[in-house]
Structure 1
């Protein structure tokens, strides 16, 4: 979502008790924690949006030596009749024997289409109104300390799709704009020594994965791709963290428009609409400085961040001269003190204007 703003205004009576229970971290060490809280948002493509978010935090067998696992869910509905359910999981087994990393999406939501490539028209985008279903899961087995490997599956379906041209401009309809279903099978190799995936104060995460989509697997298109994600966090002081990320998607074959490398969103290149620029290949990087929390506060912190990304039809076309830039600032609120989890409100600035994001946990 472009904007999500949590409603947590304490009032007398039951509502105040509900809010206090929602934001208070009263669980003991090693105990699971579950929170549900309402959200209110606005975006140009959705009008007013209301939703409900939930977050489950736990450690396998209640052992504080095990890593903190998280399952986050978000459901929303808008005044335009759009709706959706999101689910993200990062679940570690006892002593890291298994690692389940994935996301699920179902939504009826408009997709703005600006074209393909690093230069797209300044005209109004086309609108692809469709149902969208995504299921992507890695089932990883630890083979050495902090080192995991395992199979990966990716199911993506766009259906009941309608491509709507804007007034005064005509777009060539891309592959998949009338609906598409693709199933990818592959494998992922992951190095991960983080202890808290939602707020990494020190640690390294690196993933290299390969997925192949083939008509023999009931896919509409034949294509394949590599995905690269490297994240590193470095404590400067007890409260200060410097983090950086390198992220890349590299596809070949007949790639449908919705599964191309997409620039923008709440994770990287904040401020750009997710998919504002798209192509078969993308390379992006970002750096962020976090105060968790500020020295003068027990609950409030902040962040500054900057990023650059480039898309292109071939790896050789990913040159610095074609890169787009973004940057921004953020406010943090310590939502779960005993588990060191912050609520983040980020404002990203780009040449297209600002974008606002409110989520539980850091962007990367």
Structure 2
């Protein structure tokens, strides 16, 4: 996608979303002025929504939106973290659509959590092949990489606190179907696609996995942490004996750290993360470990770089403005902010063979739609392929 198209899309999206968000924020400020303290105290469910015409680097022009629901599963427990349910949905100009829900639910004095994702899609996607050489050399296009993917994923993660510590243990279920249709000539000629049974009519995967999860979590607010850390390990095994079509394993680790830079003022945060995904067995081509998503190296097309293993690291500075609350204009200004990041990634067929580094950097706008909950719009750069891509989402990238 050339830079001119992305700049034009950026201007259009900023105009639409900034206007919508300004209206919502001003109305919220007016309502807060009129509301009594007793009414505010009784509020539990909070709902925010931004939407309109937009652009996605992976799906082109679309009509879409992001919604955010937050609530407490026990309003009487003032120490319990608020549950967060971000929802993203879109209808694409090229036909089809998608919806994804990524809940973070907290129960019983935070002794029990439900995380994970639920998604459904009918979208035009791109497959570049497996390995660095293929990924970096194949041009994205209708005849080279495109196919339609009709599928869904149901992946809840259940976590139980161990005694009175910050350690959580649990398990997960992952049920997914990926139905590749309308494959381009480039996809049909790919050796992995052919080896896994793909032909001119397409290729279908249905897989069921069971996993174990280990979390050490000291973050103050998981959806937008100012302090604390997350150390997460998971192992999921997919088996024909569970009702799926393949036998393979996926192993993930995720380290995140957050530090509030109080010497710069309130709500100034340095965040960094390191993540890895490793696979084994008869892995479907849609499930190989990728680099590049709205949640790590923003700037690479989703799935453009994928192999048996992947690793990525990101350092990000997050800055919210503090302009006071004397007038609605100052309150509005205090809901604005920005972020800047840089990162590196790599993919490889095994632990001793890694690709050249994949650098990444970018900047973004932040709009606080609820306390500690931001809408974000990010512009990410992929220097390897000279790509500049645009993203928008509810909650922070990590």
Report the equivalent of 1:153. 173
Scaled by the length of structure 1, what TM-score is found?
0.89
Report the equivalent of 1:265. 293
Report the equivalent of 1:73. 87
Report the equivalent of 1:126. 145
The C-alpha deviation readout for 1:159-188, integer Å capped at 9, x for no partner, is 262321249x94335237511111111210
Q: 1:330 aligns with which of 333, 350, 364?
A: 364
Report the equivalent of 1:312. 348
Q: Is the 8 A contact 1:53 1:73 kept in 2?
A: yes
Which deviates the most, 33-42 or 219-228? 33-42
> Do structure 1's residue 192 and structure 2's residue 217 form an aligned pair?
yes
- Larger proportion of strand: 1
Structure 2, unaligned runs of 5 or more: 1-5, 33-38, 325-332
The separation in 2 between residues aligned to 1:176 and 1:227, in whole angstroms, is: 27
Change in 2 beyond 3 A, CA 1:20/1:240: closer
Change in 2 beyond 3 A, CA 1:312/1:273: same
Q: 1:141 aligns with which of 131, 151, 160?
A: 160
Q: Is the 8 A contact 1:58 1:68 kept in 2?
A: yes
Scaled by the length of structure 2, what TM-score is found?
0.82
Report the equivalent of 1:165. 185
Runs of 4+ in 1 over 6 A off after TM superposition: 15-19, 22-25
Q: Is the 8 A contact 1:33 1:57 kept in 2?
A: yes
The C-alpha deviation readout for 1:199-219, integer Å capped at 9, x for no partner, is 111111121011001111122
Q: Is the 8 A contact 2:67 2:394 kept in 1?
A: no
- Secondary structure of 1:362's counterpart equals coil
The separation in 1 between residues aligned to 2:24 and 2:250, in whole angstroms, is: 46
Return the offset for 1:154: 0.8
The separation in 2 between residues aligned to 1:239 and 1:71, in whole angstroms, is: 23
Report the equivalent of 2:328. none
Q: 2:334 aligns with which of 279, 298, 301?
A: 298
Return the offset for 1:81: 1.3
The C-alpha deviation readout for 1:67-89, integer Å capped at 9, x for no partner, is 12101122211221121121110
Q: Is the 8 A contact 1:46 1:82 kept in 2?
A: no
Report the equivalent of 1:51. 64
The separation in 2 between residues aligned to 1:17 and 1:290, in whole angstroms, is: 24
Count of aligned residue pairs for this structure pair: 355
Q: 2:74 aligns with which of 38, 54, 61?
A: 61
Return the offset for 1:95: 1.2
- Secondary structure of 2:109's counterpart equals helix
The separation in 2 between residues aligned to 1:298 and 1:114, in whole angstroms, is: 43
Change in 2 beyond 3 A, CA 1:16/1:118: closer
The separation in 2 between residues aligned to 1:176 and 1:230, in whole angstroms, is: 37
The separation in 1 between residues aligned to 2:189 and 2:242, in whole angstroms, is: 34
The separation in 2 between residues aligned to 1:134 and 1:87, in whole angstroms, is: 10
The separation in 2 between residues aligned to 1:283 and 1:45, in whole angstroms, is: 21
Change in 2 beyond 3 A, CA 1:357/1:22: farther
The C-alpha deviation readout for 1:325-350, integer Å capped at 9, x for no partner, is 100111112222xx222221111101
Return the offset for 1:193: 1.9
The higher radius of gyration belongs to 2
The separation in 2 between residues aligned to 1:340 and 1:70, in whole angstroms, is: 11
The C-alpha deviation readout for 1:120-175, integer Å capped at 9, x for no partner, is 223344212120211111111111322111111111111262321249x9433523
Q: Is the 8 A contact 2:57 2:390 kept in 1?
A: no
The separation in 1 between residues aligned to 2:261 and 2:223, in whole angstroms, is: 18
- Secondary structure of 2:138's counterpart equals coil
Which deviates the most, 34-43 or 291-300? 291-300
Structure 1, unaligned runs of 5 or more: none
- Larger proportion of helix: 2
The separation in 2 between residues aligned to 1:9 and 1:233, in whole angstroms, is: 28
